[in-house]
Structure 1
Amino acid sequence: MSDYTGDHYRPILMSSMNEQNFSGYINAVFINSNCQDDAFVVTQLPLKKTLSDFWSLVWDYKCTLVVLMHDPQDVSELNAQFWPEKGVIRHGGFSIKKISKATMAGYRETTLCIKHTDESQQTSLEVKLWQLKIWPKNETVPQSPSVFIGLIGMMEKHQQQQESDCHVLVTCCDGASRSGLFCAGAIVCDQIRSEGCLDVSQAVRSLKKRRIQLIPNKDQYTFCYTLAQSYLDSFETYGNFKH
């Protein structure tokens, strides 16, 4: 995969610095939300050789929520599962334990407990992993704007309960083709709710400043407007919104 990331916006790995051949590099990028700098971390699904780096990213930047933009079946076909279906797995200096799994409307939630195996660190990190189930692998956009909006709303509630330095990690097969739409959707919904206006072009430009390959086609750009209309339709009145 090509590296889409400018150095200025790339997270630097820190917790694995004692490992052999450690470089601190990972192909990931910070993305601003509508109201918070670097709220999201966008990265590709980990390769076998980068599993330790992926969990280092989760640990170092307190990514208490991981949003996986592929259906569980597609992840299986990609051979990209990076968490245990049961018990505990270890990658580099991290142990990952599955706590629970639940099927929600449009997504699957798995709760994980991450620990650093360094004896000097006694803390753990609880991570919610959400797998989207409404985006077929051969489609350019999800099937349901309303479910997508619901997921964004759940993400916002989750973040309100976290410490201010926590991040949301969004991942897809190449770190670009799907992840940007989730970030754009979150920005658009927050624009409408907090500012009473909508500027999809500004939202998309802000993403592309960080990683040009985000929102890679017209279908996703158009979906942002579809999502915005669906979000507005969820309110009983439009009186508080500017048109």
Structure 2
Amino acid sequence: MSIQLALELTRTFKTRIQARKGDGDYVPATYACCERDDYIIIQAPTKENYRDFWRMVWRDGCKICVSLSEKLSASDSNLCYPYWPMKEGEKMAIEDNRFVIECKKRVDFKGYAVYDLSVASTDPTLENVASRVSQVTLMHFDAWPSDTWPDFDLLGPFIHALTKKEIQIMRKSLDNYIPPVIIQSYDGLGRAPIVWVSMILMKDIERKECFDVEDLAKKCARARPGAFHKKIHFCVLFALAFRLSSLGGWTALEVSVLIHAGKVFL
């Protein structure tokens, strides 16, 4: 199955929203459920459809968004569109204030940044998700180009911090509804599924439960055709699992040696 076909077959149909003229009916994304938790794996928003991204966030009440795009551009259609404000106090207005996204806080870490965003809607045709203002945490990891071997000393702590944030959201839920975590990479393949599986693994590690990397990878591949379409994706996932198990106190072996062995295998 070609990548393009995989992307076409797994588009998410947007329902339960009364759309305006010009709104898209689809976003290039896949709902993925595993281990009782929901995720949305999505391609990089463009200048033409980034408003649909925020409609999806609003509709599902999403609290966590992850961007893995290492480069963003408002003019180059081959790169991810900068779909959120990146400076504290900066606002992004979409369609005459239909949505207003404001960056309340930005904290920079090694390899990634965390943005606290407020999302407000002035569109009376959209459903209320709890109020007219929603709080969203966007975590942007920009140190991992597509189809490359990442720095696990950066990626591992990022996954660890991301999972902690997800658990915080779960514990704060009052109505038993846990909104899906959005994971965005350029094509929705490779990196995004790796992060999805790794978040599930990290929670199993924190709970001191057994985990099966291969089984989770197969589940992801069934939900997202073409998810791991290159050998490097599997190798990165397994190497990252060792790094996460080290962070969780499971692995006594020298993790750097295991990661190097995986890199040599490629």
TM bracket, shorter-chain basis: 0.7 to 0.9
Aligned to 2:32: 31
Q: Tell me the equivalent position of 1:95.
A: 100
Q: Is the 8 A contact 2:24 2:49 kept in 1?
A: no
Aligned residues: 232
Dislocated runs of 4+, deviation >6 Å: none
Is the Cα–Cα contact under 8 Å of residues 102 and 117 in structure 2 kept in the other structure?
A: yes
Distance in 1, Cα, partners of 2:12 & 2:202? 26
Q: Among the aligned pairs, what percent are the same residue?
A: 19
- Matched AA of 2:192: S
Secondary structure of residue in 2 paired with 1:4: helix
CA contact (8 A) 2:69 2:80 kept: no
**Cα pair 2:72 2:82 within 8 Å, conserved:** yes
TM-align CA RMSD: 2.8
Structure 1 CA distance, aligned partners of 2:163 and 2:80? 30
Query: 2:141 aligns to what?
Result: 132
TM (norm. structure 2) is 0.75
> What TM-score do the two structures reach when normalised by structure 1?
0.82
Relative to structure 1, is the Cα distance of residues 52 and 141 closer, same or farther in structure 2, using a 3 angstrom cutoff?
same
Structure 1 residue corresponding to 2:161, chosen from 131, 147, 151 = 151
- For structure 2, list consecutive stretches of 5 or more residues without a partner in the other structure: 253-266
CA distance in 1, matches of 2:15, 2:93: 18
For 1:61-140, what aligned pairs fall within 5 Å after superposition?
A: 61-71=60-70, 74-76=71-73, 78=79, 80-85=81-86, 86-92=89-95, 93-119=98-124, 123-135=132-144, 137=145, 139-140=147-148
Matches within 5 A, 1:1-40: 4=7, 6=9, 10-15=12-17, 17-22=18-23, 24-36=25-37, 39-40=38-39
Closer, same or farther in 2 for the Cα pair 1:95/1:237, shift >3 Å? Answer: closer
- Answer with 92-101 or 205-214: which moved more: 92-101
Against the structure 1 CA distance between its residues 158 and 13, is the aligned structure 2 distance closer, same or farther, given a 3 Å change threshold?
farther
- 1:143 deviation in Å? 0.9
CA shift in 2, pair 1:201/1:236, >3 Å: closer
- Residues 11 and 29 in structure 1, CA contact (< 8 A), matched pair in contact too: no
Using the alignment, how far apart are the partners of 1:110 and 1:75 within structure 2? 16
SS in 1 for 2:48: helix
> Contact conserved, 1:33 with 1:186, CA < 8 A, in 2?
no
Give secondary structure in 1 for the equivalent of 2:234: helix
Distance 2:43 2:250 in 1: 39
The partner residue of 1:209 within 206, 219, 222 is 222
Unmatched segments (≥5 aa) in structure 1: none
What code does the residue aligned with 2:137 have? Answer: K
- Select between 196-205 and 58-67 the one with higher mean Cα deviation: 196-205
